[in-house]
Amino acid sequence: MINASLLFFVITSAQIGVGIHGFQNVVYDSAKQDSWIAVIVSFIFAHIVMFIMIKTLELYGGTNDFYGIHIDIYGKYIGNFFNLIYMFYCTFAFFAVCKNYIEVIVTWVFPQINSQFLYATLFIIVIYAFTGGLRVIIGVSFFSFFFSIWVLPTLLFVLPYANNNHLIPLLNDLMGIIKGTYAMTFTIVGFEIIYTLYPYVKEKKKVQKFAHLGLAGTMAGYLLLMLLAQAFFSGQQLTKTIWPTLSMFSIVRLPFFERIEIFTICSWMMIILPNLCLYMWATYRGLLRMVKISPTKYAWIFSILVIIATLFVRSRAEINMMNNILSKFAFYLVFIYPFVLFLLAWLKKKMTKSKQQVKQP
């Protein structure tokens, strides 16, 4: 069991991943000058979804997770089918995080190194953390938060080169804001881990508070990065820059450290580590409901399968296609389906309660 206050660190570390490197480019393509507004709107929607997710879990008194709720509502076979879909989503998200991060390393730091060696090195660290159990994963999330907060004050070095005129006119295209909000999907997913983590939290009454604080903390970081990128780059530059956050780092010069973007990319491994561990753990929790398998055996099989899958996605165009597919998948599963699940769970509980009242003399 873990304290509810740790959810703040879990939610922020689950949301801050590889998407932070280049989300400005994707959002600006749709929302233009209103991109920072799209960031705010996306997080407002995320708060609403988080509220519904926790309310669904509360209907079961904190004893059932996402997988158990599926089986209760749909029955064993259909419920496990929906569980498999969610497990596939977690695996897909794990794969996307790995692929995007290794591409950044190969492009910026080690262009001559074999990417399979980098995958193997990364997965050994993930397996080591995962097999330590949930407490170790939560601990990694806690320290990951402090690895990420130094990024924001460092990027304030770009302020002298910022041009506020790049942020106007405001509210120029409402449909563009809606499209920009949708484009944020890949960047802000991760908070759905509450579905599997909720039964392990001690103070259930404080879950809403700290989960929403985690979302608010992430929003503050993404909003600042969006505003900095919009003010630093012209619109044309931003649409052509694949990783705006890393490109802004490249102008930072410190007396004791010249290429700070190289250090940032390497240290980012500690920031994506909770992403990978939490997605692997969520998939494992679902698999345990179907077959009995040890964490170590599962982790090795899972990692080997993902490494094999990376051989089939190589070019930047294929990675973009993969990110787009994951965004669509995540949009329906993370932002739409929770409302359907809450309604079904509420109806099931209401019907069960009515039957019990009828049976009572």
Task: Give tens-digit pLDDT for 130-172.
Answer: 998 899 999 998 888 887 787 778 778 888 888 888 888 888 8
Contacts of 87 (CB under 8 A, 6+ apart): 282, 283, 286, 287
Give pLDDT tens digits for 198-219.
Answer: 999 988 889 999 999 999 999 9
Q: What pLDDT does 343 receive?
A: 94
Q: In 3D, which of 27, 51, 99 has the Cα closest to residue 338?
A: 51
Q: Could you identify the residue written with the tokens 């909000």?
A: 181
Q: What is the DSSP string of 136-173?
A: HHHHHHHHHHHHHTTHHHHHGGGGGG--GGGG-SSS--
- Give the residue-averaged pLDDT of 324-329: 90
CA angle 160, 161, 167 (to 5 degrees): 110
For the chain, what percentages of helix, strand and coil (3-state, to nearest 5) are there? 80, 0, 20
In angstroms, how far is CA 15 from the centroid of its own chain?
Answer: 4
- Give the residue-averaged pLDDT of 270-299: 90
With bands split at pLDDT 50, 70 and 90, how would you rate the model's confidence at 359? low
Quick one: tokens of 348? Answer: 């099931």
On average, the pLDDT of the chain sits at: 88
Q: What pLDDT does 113 receive?
A: 85
CATH topology of domain 4-359: Amino acid/polyamine transporter I (1.20.1740)
- Determine the Cα–Cα distance for residues 82 and 155; give it in Å rounded to an integer: 42
- Give the residue-averaged pLDDT of 306-315: 87
pTM (2 decimals)? 0.91
- For CA atoms 222, 223, 226, 229, the dihedral sign is negative
Please check whether residue 61 is in contact with residue 198, taking contact to mean a CB–CB distance below 8 angstroms.
no
Higher pLDDT, 183 or 18: 183
361 pLDDT above the threshold of 60: no
Give pLDDT tens digits for 73-86.
Answer: 998 899 999 999 99
